[in-house]
Amino acid sequence: MKKPLTYILFFILFSSFGQQSQVEELLSRHNEYMEKSDFDSALSVSKKSLQIAQQLDNELLQAKSFIAIANAHFKKGEITQAESIGQQALSIAKKLKDPTLFMEVYL
């Protein structure tokens, strides 16, 4: 009886880790697109990363995704959207009391 439960728990943990890696990969691609000034593609992949981070209920990854989205909007000249989304990242950073995240929001 213990083995099926162990396998289920292992599957859940492995699946979650795989999705976290996917978010990190998408955020890496976001950075690559930003360096190439391809802000639409950067926005697209960062929105995908946010969706996955929300499914995982991972607030740190959500904040990083919000920061990426805000940066893409800013570079596109969409200042109002950038500010609004940046506030969402700031709210999470305050909740998590993460000083590194605070710095990312303000940079």
Vertex 20: Cα angle to 16 and 26 (nearest 5): 145
Kindly tell me the burial class for residue 63, based on how many C-beta atoms sit within 10 Å of its own C-beta (0-12, 13-18, 19 or more). Answer: buried
Q: What is the pTM of this model?
A: 0.82
Residue 77 phi/psi, 5-degree rounding, is 85, 10
Nearest to residue 56, comparing CAs of 16, 21, 18, 12? 16
Looking at residue 8, what is its pLDDT?
Answer: 52
**Measured CA distances, 7 to 62, 75, 84 (Å):** 28, 46, 42
> What are 9-27's pLDDT values in tens digits?
444 444 555 778 899 999 9
Question: Could you tell me the two tokens for 46?
Answer: 């960062």
Q: Enumerate residue ranges in the chain where pLDDT < 50.
A: 1, 7, 9-14
